[in-house]
Amino acid sequence: MFVNQWIWEVPFSIYSKGQKEISIGSEGHLQWHPPLDHTIFGTVTDGLTSSVPLPFGDTFALQNPTVLSVSPTCVLAGSTFTINGTGMYPALVTSVVTGGTPLTTSQYSKASDSLLQVVAPNQPSEAPQPVVVETALGLSNSNVTIEIPYLFCD
């Protein structure tokens, strides 16, 4: 078994403004001839071009997390809701906090850098609770809230 792995380092400064991917090409050329004869008997030429998306889209820098919304805005304890935002890179999310209480890692899943799935904790309250995402880069805003009522959502 042969495994070919490459690690590429391409400075962001070489990308053009608005560029979404980079193409990498290679070409091979083979000639063969009969033994003891130097005339070319055959030629094969082949090429390969691969397009690779730019890392982090067109952001070019990791961002602090931002919570934009939750959906739905009211859930009962144990129900699932979604946090929508930016900069919530799955590998960098370290915690999700509702109402000032950190959730266990089993209570949320990292879907993408803009989406987290969360199981509402058993901490009902009369007031909406702030939702905060923490990544290795820092804390998100705390002005987006979720309602976790005692009995039912209005």
Please tell me the total count of domains within the chain. Answer: 1
The answer to whether the predicted template modeling score (pTM) of the entire model surpasses 0.85 is: no
Instruction: Fill in the DSSP letter of residue 105.
Output: G
Is 52 within the bounds of a domain?
no
Model pLDDT for residues 16-46, shown as the tens digit of each residue: 777 777 777 777 767 766 666 666 566 777 7
Residue 56 binned pLDDT confidence (cut-offs 50, 70, 90): low
Measuring CA to CA, which residue among 81, 82, 80, 97 is closest to residue 138? 97
Is 20 within the bounds of a domain?
no
Is 113 within the bounds of a domain?
yes
Is 45 within the bounds of a domain?
no
Is 43 within the bounds of a domain?
no
Is 114 within the bounds of a domain?
yes
Give the domain CATH number at 72: 2.60.40.10
Is 134 within the bounds of a domain?
yes
Q: Positive or negative CA dihedral for 49, 54, 55, 61?
A: positive
Q: How many CB atoms lie within 10 A of CB 115?
A: 15
Is 19 within the bounds of a domain?
no
Domain that holds residue 104: 66-146
